Structure 1
C-alpha cells in the first residue's frame, strides 16, 4: 500500500501539530504518550470517523466538545475481567496474606477503563473475606468509560471468556454467583458496585488523592514515554503506604526506573512490587 494514497495516515510532524493544538485548547497534554502508539490510535480514529487531517483539525477547533470526545477515544484501553488469570492467582497467594493484617484496605485501580479490573479485584477480595473492610477507587481520564463502569453492565457474550478467566485464576466459587443475567447483558452484583468509587483522574497532570495499600495500574504505562512513566510511578510511590503493593502490566516493570530501589520484587514475571522505603 502506498502511504500517500490513504488520507488516514499522518506523519509524526502532523501528529505533533495535533498534540500542540489539543494542548492549547484543552487541559490535556498528549505529548508524554508513546508517539508510535498515539499515531496508530489517531489514524484509527480518523479511519473510523472518515476524517482526513484537515477535517480533524477543523473539528477540534470548531465543534464544541469534540476535543473531549477525541481524547477519550484515544485513551480507552482494552480490558476484561480477570485478564491474565495467573496475575490474580499470584495476587491472592502472595499479596493478600499481607493485606489481611490491615484493619482497613484501600485499593486503587488506575486506568480502570470500563471497570472490569476493579470489579475483578472486588470479587477476589470477597472470596478471601476482605471485601467488607475494603474500598476500591477506579479512575480513568475518560468520563465516558467511567459512566459505563459505574453501571457494571456487560454484554452476555463476554461472560464466557470472563468465566474462563475466573476459573483459571483458581477461584472456587461459580462466577455466576457474582452477577445477574438480564437477557443479553449481565449486571455485577450491587455489593461490588457499592464498594467501588469510579472517578476521573489524569495520570499526566493530577496529584495524590489518598493513601493506598494496593495500587493496580496494568497495561496503561506502555502507552507513555519514559518521562511520563517516571511521573506516574512517582505518583504511585507517593500514594502507597509503606509496605504497600504496586502491580504493573505484563509488559511493564520498575526495571531501569529511578524508584526501583524503593521497592522489593514480589513476582518478577508478573511485575508485583512492595514499597519498602
Structure 2
C-alpha cells in the first residue's frame, strides 16, 4: 500500500460522489453571515474545495461570493482524485431535473436573486453562466498521497473524512492545517469535526456551529 498509483486507484474506486447545489443550506447561510464579513478585509481570497466531486459546491460558492461582491477578488480551487468527475465539474452543466431541489436549497441558503438568473437551459441540460467559471480552477489532487499546493483563506472539505480511518484523518488534517493561513476558516461536514484530531487545539469553533472552524495557531 505504499505505491502511490495503487493508493490512487483504491481510493478512486471507493470514492462516493454524492453532491448537490447548496447542499445543507444552513452551511452556506452560516458562511454568508459569519465568514463573509471577515473575508471582506482580505485583499485576495483563495478557497479550496477538497473532494469537490462534480463541482456543484464550487458553483454554489461562486454564486454566493458574487452576491456578496467578493467573486472578483476570489480564486476557487476544486480538487478531486477522480478525473472523471472533474471533467464534469469543468463543464459546469447539470441535468435540469435537479433544478427544483437546487433552487430550494439556494433560497434556504440566503440567496438574494432568482436562481434561474445564473443558468440557461438547452436540450434538458442546465449550463451555468460563464462568468461563474472565470475564477475557478479544477485539478486532480489526492488528499492521501499529494501535498499542499497553496495557502488558502478558506478550505472546504465536507463529507470526505468520514470515509477515512483515524490515521488517514490525521494525515489529511495535517495537510489542511499546512495549507490554511492563520485566521483562515475550515468548513467540514456536519458529522465531522476537529475535536479528536491531532490539530484540535489549533482551531476554535465559529459561532458554535461545529461545522466551521478558525485556525488560531
TM class by smaller structure: over 0.9
User: Which residue is 1:132 aligned to?
Assistant: 72
Q: How does 1:185-224 map to 2 (within 5 A)?
A: 185-224=125-164
Q: How does 1:245-264 map to 2 (within 5 A)?
A: 245-264=185-204
Secondary structure of 1:98's counterpart equals helix
Normalising by structure 1, we get a TM-score of 0.75
Which one of 1, 24, 29 corresponds to residue 7 of structure 2? Answer: 29
Q: Distance in 2 between matches of 1:99 and 1:200?
A: 26
- How far is the alpha carbon of 1:224 from its aligned partner? 0.4
- How far is the alpha carbon of 1:172 from its aligned partner? 1.5
Secondary structure of 1:258's counterpart equals coil
User: Which residue is 2:176 aligned to?
Assistant: 236
Higher relative contact order (CA 8 A, sep 6+): 2
Q: Distance in 2 between matches of 1:223 and 1:28?
A: 18
Q: How does 1:158-197 map to 2 (within 5 A)?
A: 158-197=98-137
Would you say how many aligned residue pairs link Structure 1 and Structure 2? 217
Residue 88 (str. 1) matches residue 28 (str. 2): yes
Provide Cα deviations, 1:120-173, integer angstroms capped at 9, x if missing partner: 111110010000000000000001100000000000001110001001112110
Runs of at least 5 residues in structure 2 that lack an aligned partner in the other structure: none
Would you tell me which structure has more strand in proportion to its own residues?
2
Secondary structure of 2:7's counterpart equals coil
User: Which residue is 1:62 aligned to?
Assistant: none
- How far is the alpha carbon of 1:270 from its aligned partner? 4.3
Normalising by structure 2, we get a TM-score of 0.95
User: Which residue is 1:274 aligned to?
Assistant: 214
Q: Distance in 1 between matches of 2:185 and 2:11?
A: 30
Q: Distance in 1 between matches of 2:126 and 2:175?
A: 35
CA distance 1:211–1:181, change in 2 (3 Å): same
Whether the aligned pair in 2 keeps the contact of 1:222 and 1:251 (CA below 8 Å) is yes
Q: Distance in 1 between matches of 2:108 and 2:73?
A: 26
